[in-house]
Every structure is written in structure tokens, then in C-alpha cells.
Amino acid sequence: MVVLVRFGQLLPRPSLPSLAEWRRNAIAGLVVGVIALPLSIALAVAVGVPPIAGLYTAVFAGGLASLCGGSRFNITGPTAALVPVLSGAVLQHGPGALPMVGLLAGVLLLAMSLLGAGRLVRFIPHPVIIGFTAGIALSIAFGQLNTFLAVTGTDPHREHFHEKLWDTIAHLGTVAPVTPLMGVAALALLFAWQRFVPRVPGPLVAVTGFTALTWWLGLDTPTLGSRYGELPRDFPLPTFAWFDAGLAFDLIPVAVAVAVLGAVESLLAAVVGDGMAAASERTEPDRELFGQAVANVVAPIMGGIPATAAIARTAAGIRNGASSRLTGLFHALTVLLATLAFGGLAGHIPLTVLAAVLMVVAWNIAEADVLAALVRRAPREDLIVLISTIVITLFFDLTYAIGFGVVVSMVLLIRRLGSDPAAAAMLADDSGAVAGVSPELGALIHARPDIAFYNARGFLSFHSAAQFEHELQGSGHHRPLILRTKDVRHIDTSGLLALREVIRHHRRHGGRVILTAIQPEVREVLDRFGILAEIGPANVFEHTKDAIESIPIAARGGSEHGGIARHAAADAAG
């Protein structure tokens, strides 16, 4: 029942747009669709599947994600972020495995949305996101070298970055000059175009222009048609011929990587979109995961590959007037109509131009300026996470990179938290003031050297419990201990056990422990665990001042410190 209710909450809630909104989003969708056409083809080729699979992905995944997702602006389709993972799956299991990967990833995304994991994905540390994005960009760029140069004779089964790079270098003697010259010219055009004419889609201009030039001059260079044959121009029919339950178990690691990457990329795109549009209605993270789940389940049935939201296409839609999810629907319709009408012409596109398009995409997603700024200015711990994530992404596996980055970030965070003492003695300075408390309370603390005052703070958890216990057990057992907990916001089982041990340790040595200023949420946990019952109501105070007054002055005996304190207490009271 809970799952059904949750599922109902994730279903889209349609509203009727005005005529002006229809017109504005239709224009934005047309522009984004034109941008998506060459990118969808290029990304499919980079993955190792026929170009039509990329176009079908933009159509069906793009339309369904816009209709069912939680973002009004996200544009979904094949993306560069998924290329290393999907191309690795193609190398290991063949192109026929990608529909199963999409289905499994869709199921995982659906589970994430039902479990409310949309907000949790945002807790992946920023250095990890930048690191694996930069690693993906480098992997894509170097992965296009063979196509960009038209290198022949290389081993297509080499999986890792360094293996493919050395294989390419070993076969550079097979390169003819025509293809790399065309690729360099396409690169120059794309970079210049995005700088000086940013409102016109550079990839479409480059693909159209160099395709026409190749046909007119009769240049001898590999094309889409020479590698994949003519693109189909029919509307695809749904099929489950690819379903292979026996392969599912082997594909789970790939599907997990696709689901996590898809969730991160889609939610980042949604954040960027909300910020660019200055929208009052923000993205619903769990519903956005639901939309991505539907897209990845249905796209394989219609001949597509795994998909996620694309930040660049989302931004392009907003810059051209997008104001609702209609932009994503018109984008899908534009790609579909163009595929049906002009799909036959795509076979003449030079592969080196598509490689140049992907190299520019890789440069853009790498965010070189942000990366350079982090390398120069980030804390050393974050720099370790960043560089490690890039290296592991390049030389090992993207799944390992994400896991390693998150784990190392957590370890470093725990180390930082552990370096900040969970409990500190409340000592007066030369003027008699005590940091963090009122002057009145500071005077009372200064006047009672017969009492050990400690202030606990932050999170009493597994990362700080041992240090907390060690600090308080060395506080002097002959004196009463007042533990001020006003600044404690959370305590877990490790913290509870450490506190109980401190209480029992002091009692074994004849000391008294008093807790003061307990926050309501912490009090509830202490009560449920039995700490308050064990210490007794006479040792629990709302105000530290009352706790001090509950300890008789006579309890200090006639020591020299006692006499001084009596006079100081009298002065403070008077």
C-alpha cells in the first residue's frame, strides 16, 4: 500500500498551458531537437551501436522523461556521461546487451524514486562529481582518436584508456592525410562557432557543411554509411527480442553505474535548469528519477539505448525560451520527424566530423576552468579525491571511481570531524571569562574550581565517541562533573555507550555526573536508552546555573581552593 501511494505521488500532474506557452516551447523544442540530431548520432557511434539507436533514444526517452519527470526543463537523450560505461558493456557483451542494461537501470531508478533517494544523490561530494566528469571527458576525447584520424588495424576489444592509447600510437602509420585534416578543420569550426555564433547549433553546421563538402569533392573518408549502412526511415516497432534473463546478472554492475550516473546527471541538469530559469517551482527530485526510470525502461523496447538528462541541451532549451516540459516533447517530435524525413542522408556524414563534435562536447563537460581553479585552490584532501577519481575513471572503471571517491570523501570528512574535540573543558581565561557562555555563568564557573565543567558539542557519534570518553574520564574523579550538552545536536549508539561508560566510571570512583541544557531531540534518545533513568532526575538540569547551585559548597571541604572559591562565589552573588 505504501508503495502504491508513493507511486501515485510520482505520477505527473498535468496542467493546461496557454497558446503563447505552446508557441514559445515549440520554438525552444525545435532548436534543441536540431542540436540533438547530430549529437545523438555521434554518441551512438561512440558507444558502438548503429546511429539510429541514438536517434530513437532522443525520441522516446526524451519524450517520456519530459512527460513523467519532475523537471520542467530537462532534455533527456543519449549523453556523453554514459559513453565510457556503455562502450565498455558493448566491448564485453556486444551491442545486444545495451537494451538489458537500460531495462535494469530503469528498474533501479524506479526503486530509487520510490525509496525517496532523489535527495540523497545530491550528497555525492562535488570533487567526486567534477573528477569523474573530467575523467569521462578525457576518456571520450581520447576514445575518438581512432575515428578522428581514421586509424586502421587497431584492436577493438581493448577496454582501458592506456591500452587503447598505446594501440592507436602503434598504428599511426595507417593514417591518410585527408581524414585528419577534415577533422582538424571541423574542430576549428566548432570551437570558433560556439564562441562567436553561440545561438546557432555548431554541430549541425559542421555536420551539414562537411557532409556536403565530402559529397561535392568526392573525398575518400569513412562515413556513417560505410560503417553502418543506410539508416532506417521507418517508425520503430516495439520488440522484446533482446530480453535475456541469463545475461541480467552479469550486467548488474553496469546497470548500477548507469543508474547512479543517470540520477546524478539528471539531478544536476535539473539544478542548472532551475537556476538558469530562476523558477519558483523547483524540480521534484524523486519524480525526476521516476521519469528517468520510465525513459530507460521504454527506450530499449523502441530500439534505444540507456539515457539521462543532458545539461547542455537543457541549458539550450532555456536560453531559447523553454518554460515547461513541452520543450522536451517538441524536441522529441523534431528528432522523430527529421529521422523519418532525412534519415537516408545521414549515411554521408563523415565519421571524423562526428568525432570532432564529441571532442568539443568532452571539452565542454570537463569544465576546464573549474577544474583548474580547484587544482590551484582546493584543500589538499579535496584535491586528493579529485585527482584519484580522474585517474580511476581513466585507467580502471567509472563504477570504482564513484565508489572510491565517495568512500574517501567520507573518510576524510570523519577525520576532519574527529579532529574537532567532542568535549572540551570550560576554563576561564585571565580575565575570568569562559568562552561560549554568558558573563554571569562564566563567573559562576570561575568561582567553583571544585567542579569539573565540560562542554559537549556537535555529533556524539562513532567518529568522536572514543575521544569523548577519553577526554571525560581524565577530568578528575574526585570532583563532580557537569556536562553541558546545549551544543549536542545528535547522539548515536556509539555516543550513548561512551556517555554511559563515563557516568559509570565516575561513579565507581565516587564522583557525581550532572547533565545540563539537553536539547529535546537528544533528551528523547537519552531517555529511550535509559541514560536519564540511570543518572537520576536529581542530576539532570535545564540550566547549568541550577546544576552548580545543587552542589553544596561544603562538599568541597576546607581546602585552600575551597576558601578562595567561597569568597569568589560570595562576590559573584553579591
- Separation CA 502–CA 496 (nearest Å): 10
Check whether 339 has a pLDDT greater than 80.
yes
- Cα separation of 501 and 498, whole Å? 5
Cα–Cα distance measured from residue 171 to residue 476, given in angstroms and rounded to the nearest whole number: 75
Give pLDDT, residue 573: 36
Whole-number Å distance between alpha carbons of 394 and 408 = 18
Average pLDDT over residues 316-342: 89
| Mean of pLDDT values over 443-461 | 83
The pLDDT confidence band at residue 69, using thresholds 50, 70 and 90, is very high
Query: Does residue 561 or residue 245 have the better pLDDT?
Result: 245
User: At residue 204, does pLDDT exceed 90?
Assistant: no
Average pLDDT taken over every residue of the chain: 82
Cα 31 to its chain centre, rounded Å, is: 28
Domain with CATH 3.30.750.24 in the chain: 423-573
Instruction: Identify the CATH homologous superfamily for domain 423-573.
Output: STAS domain (3.30.750.24)
Question: Has residue 159 got a pLDDT over 90?
Answer: no
Model confidence at 508, pLDDT cuts 50, 70, 90, reads: confident
Which of 61, 60, 65, 58 is closest to 12 using CA atoms?
Answer: 65
Residue 411 above 50 pLDDT? yes
Contacts of 460 (CB under 8 A, 6+ apart): 422, 468, 488, 490, 491, 492, 494, 495, 496, 498, 499
SS3 310: coil
pLDDT (0 to 100) of residue 288: 93
pLDDT digits 0-9 by tens, 363-378 = 887 777 878 888 888 7
CA distance 458 to 39: 49
Residue 387 clears pLDDT 90, i.e. is over it: no
Q: Please answer whether residues 417 and 523 qualify as being in contact, where contact means their C-beta atoms are separated by less than 8 angstroms.
A: no
d(C-alpha 55, C-alpha 373), whole Å: 36
Residue 258: what pLDDT?
Answer: 92
Give the pLDDT confidence score for residue 269 in this predicted structure. Answer: 84
Q: Checking DSSP bridges between strand 308-309 and strand 423-425, what pairing results, if any?
A: unpaired
What's the confidence (pLDDT) of residue 557? 41
The stretch 420-440 carries a mean pLDDT of: 74
Q: What is the DSSP string of 186-243?
A: HHHHHHHHHHH-TTS-HHHHHHHHHHHHHHHHT----BHHHHH-SPP-SPPPP--TT-
Give yes or no for residue 166 having a pLDDT over 80. yes
pLDDT of residue 459: 78
21-57 pLDDT per residue, tens: 888 899 889 888 888 888 898 899 889 899 999 999 9
- pLDDT 10s digits, 268-301: 888 878 877 766 678 888 999 999 999 999 999 9
DSSP per-residue letters across 1-22? -HHHHHHHHHS----PPPHHHH
The residue with greater pLDDT, 504 or 118, is: 504
Tell whether the model's pLDDT for residue 574 goes beyond 50: no
pLDDT of residue 279: 61
Non-local (6+) Cβ contacts of 197 within 8 A are: none
Q: Is the pLDDT of residue 110 over 90?
A: yes
